[in-house]
Amino acid sequence: MPFINCIICGKPRSDKIEVCPFCKPESKPEPTSAHTTIAALIGIGILVVGSFAPVIQIPIVGALTYVNNGQGDGVVVLTLAAIALVTALLKMVRIPAYSGLISLLIILYGYFTTVDRIAGAKATAQASLQGNPFAALGEMASQSLQLQWGWGLLFVGSILLTISPLIAKAIKTQP
C-alpha cells in the first residue's frame, strides 16, 4: 500500500483514502443528497396540494382549482411534480429543481393572467352596468371575484422545489 504526503499537513497517508485523517477538520457528518431529497419531497407535496386547493372564488360557480378538472396549467404542474418526484427518489439533485423552476414560471404566468382577467372582468361589468337599475347587484357580484389561498401553496411548493439543491449546500457550510 503506497503512501503519499498530505498537501495540507505533510504527514504520510494511504493513497486509497481521499481525506487526510490527521488534518481533517472535526465537524458534523457531511450532508448527503438526503437533505436535498427531503426538501424536494416536501416541496412536491406542497405543490400537489396547492394544485387541488382553491385559487379563485367566482360567484355562483364557486371555487376553482389550478388543475380545473384537467383543463388548466395545473396538469402541466402536476406532470412536472411527478417528474420531480421520480428524479428526487432516484437521488438526481438538479432535475427536481428544474421542474420546480419551470413550475414556478408557469404558476407566475397563471397568477398574473388571472389577476389581469379579474381586473378586466370587473371593469367590463362596471362599464356594462352603467345606468342599469340592478347595477349595485352586478357590482357586488364583480367585487366577489377573489383570489384564494391555493396560490400561496403553489408559490411555496415551487420555490422550495427550486431551491432544494441549495439546502444541502447551506447545511454543509454551517459551522
pLDDT tens-digit map of 104-137: 999 999 999 999 988 888 888 778 888 888 777 7
Secondary-structure percent of the chain, ordered helix, strand, coil, rounded to 5 = 60, 10, 30
* Segment 73-83 mean pLDDT: 94
Among candidate residues 32, 31, 3, 29, the one with its CA nearest the CA of residue 16: 3
Neighbours of 129 (CB within 10 A): 17
Q: In this structure, how many other beta carbons lie within 10 angstroms of the beta carbon of residue 96? A: 30
Q: For 30-65, write each residue's pLDDT tens digit.
A: 444 688 889 999 999 999 999 999 999 888 888 989
**Intra-chain end-to-end CA distance of the chain, in Å:** 35
Q: What are the helix (H) ranges across 129-149?
A: 135-143
Residue range(s) in the chain whose domain bears CATH number 1.20.140 = 33-129+138-173
At position 2, the amino acid (one-letter code) is P
Q: Is residue 62 left, alpha or beta, with left meaning phi > 0 and alpha meaning psi from -120 to 50?
A: left
Report pLDDT for 103: 97
- Residue 84: CB atoms within 10 A of its CB come to 28
Overall pTM > 0.85: no
Residue 99, helix vs strand vs coil: helix
* Distance separating alpha carbons of residues 141 and 138, to the nearest angstrom: 5
* pLDDT given at position 42: 95
Question: How would residue 5 be classed by pLDDT, with cut points 50, 70 and 90?
Answer: confident
**Per-residue model confidence as pLDDT tens digits over 156-165:** 999 999 999 8
Least confident of 61-70, 92-101, 146-155: 61-70
150 vs 61, 88, 144, 147, 153, CA distance in Å?
Answer: 17, 24, 17, 8, 5
33-129+138-173 in CATH: which number? 1.20.140
Q: Could you tell me the three cell numbers for 130?
A: 352603467
